[in-house]
């Protein structure tokens, strides 16, 4: 299968690298020219606890890509997705599927606009992947990835997508009730990602200071309440267990919001805390913790950009 990875940052490179190493024709698309140069010259290094795998996927700027593909795996920021998919309109076939492993809410709606709801797939990943240097990504912890159709319908393509990852080191599972996973990841990120970014810390930092973990859990509780108002039960205890797991097993991971602030880039806060604030307003639910975190992250973005 010909696969385009739209947004070949840390996680996108990790997925694309392993799919390429398993024999699939993979095209990594990124605007990071240093990453492109490094992968082209030396291959893509995938550093794991079990050792180093070197993959040789195709890699280019999105504007330079002209191949038709059967599957697009989206890993851009949510606010970049619409424009990124528009650039690939000539690469999309009548039955090309788009699978989002992005953080936040709203990705399915954007994908459906581009390729139709029948070709729209969404998912979440809990892999703690970091980009170490151009051409080098690292994952030193375990994490499951789930996917499903945006409507919850089981389609034959689900088996095809599952089979892509079957013989790789990636633990990717089909879940018919994927919306619960998506909202659950938002609940996890609303506190963990935002607090790590604001504290310039890691899950290990949060673990070392109990009031910080309580703040993270408070944000998750608000998300759970909003999700329930929209008909989604995310099983709050499962989210809290994931928070505890990250604090213990992913202690040194640098979450994406913190990395974005360090790089002086916009974060995903609008699709995470910001999206929860907007949905809470519609449901008439107070979400003071998420409002505070969203405000502080946006302030930090302005400060880091100067």
pLDDT of residue 137: 96
Domain 180-305's class? mainly alpha
Output the CATH code of domain 2-176: 3.40.50.720
pLDDT of residue 306: 59
- Give, in degrees to the nearest 5, the angle at Cα 257 between 254 and 263: 85
pLDDT of residue 85: 96
Residue carrying the six token digits 């929860």:
276
pLDDT by residue (tens digit) across 170-228? 999 999 999 999 999 999 999 999 999 999 999 999 999 999 999 999 999 999 999 99
pLDDT of residue 245: 95
Say what the pTM is: 0.93
For residue 86, give every residue at least 6 positions away whose Cβ sits within 8 Å of its Cβ, in sequence order, or none. 114
pLDDT of residue 169: 87
Which positions of the chain have pLDDT values less than 50?
none
Indicate if the alpha-carbon torsion angle 238, 239, 240, 244 is positive or negative.
positive
Ranges of each domain in the chain: 2-176, 180-305
pLDDT of residue 123: 97
Q: Would you say the CATH fold of 180-305 matches that of 2-176?
A: no
pLDDT of residue 200: 95
Q: Which residues pair with 27 in a beta bridge?
A: 4, 58
Q: Residue 179's Cα: distance from chain center in Å? A: 14
């Amino acid at each position: 299968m010909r696969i385009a990875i739209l947004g070949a940052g840390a996680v996108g490179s990790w997925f694309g690298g392993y799919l390429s190493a398993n024999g699939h024709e993979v095209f990594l698309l990124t605007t990071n020219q240093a990453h492109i140069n490094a992968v082209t010259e030396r291959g893509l290094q995938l550093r794991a606890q079990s050792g180093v795998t070197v993959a040789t996927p195709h890699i280019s700027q999105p504007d330079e890509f002209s191949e038709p593909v059967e599957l697009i795996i989206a890993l851009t920021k949510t606010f970049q997705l619409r424009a990124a998919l528009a650039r690939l309109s000539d690469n999309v076939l009548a039955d090309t599927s788009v699978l989002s492993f992005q953080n936040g809410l709203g990705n399915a709606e954007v994908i459906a606009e581009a390729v139709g709801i029948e070709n729209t797939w969404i998912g979440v990943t809990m892999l703690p992947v970091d980009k170490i240097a151009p051409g080098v990504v690292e994952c030193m912890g375990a994490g499951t990835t789930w996917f499903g159709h945006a409507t919850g319908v089981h389609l034959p393509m689900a088996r095809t997508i599952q089979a892509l990852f079957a013989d790789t080191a990636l633990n990717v599972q089909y879940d018919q009730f994927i919306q619960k996973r998506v909202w659950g990841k938002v609940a996890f990120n609303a506190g963990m990602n935002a607090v790590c970014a604001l504290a310039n810390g890691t899950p290990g930092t949060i673990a070392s200071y109990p009031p910080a973990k309580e703040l993270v859990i408070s944000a998750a509780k608000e998300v759970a309440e909003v999700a329930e108002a929209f008909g989604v039960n995310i099983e709050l205890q499962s989210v809290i267990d994931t928070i505890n797991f990250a604090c213990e097993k992913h202690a040194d991971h640098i979450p994406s919001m913190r990395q974005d602030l360090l790089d002086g880039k916009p974060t995903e806060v609008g699709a995470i805390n910001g999206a929860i604030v907007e949905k809470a307003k519609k449901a008439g639910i107070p979400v003071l913790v998420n409002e505070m975190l969203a405000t502080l992250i946006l302030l930090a973005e302005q400060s880091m950009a100067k």
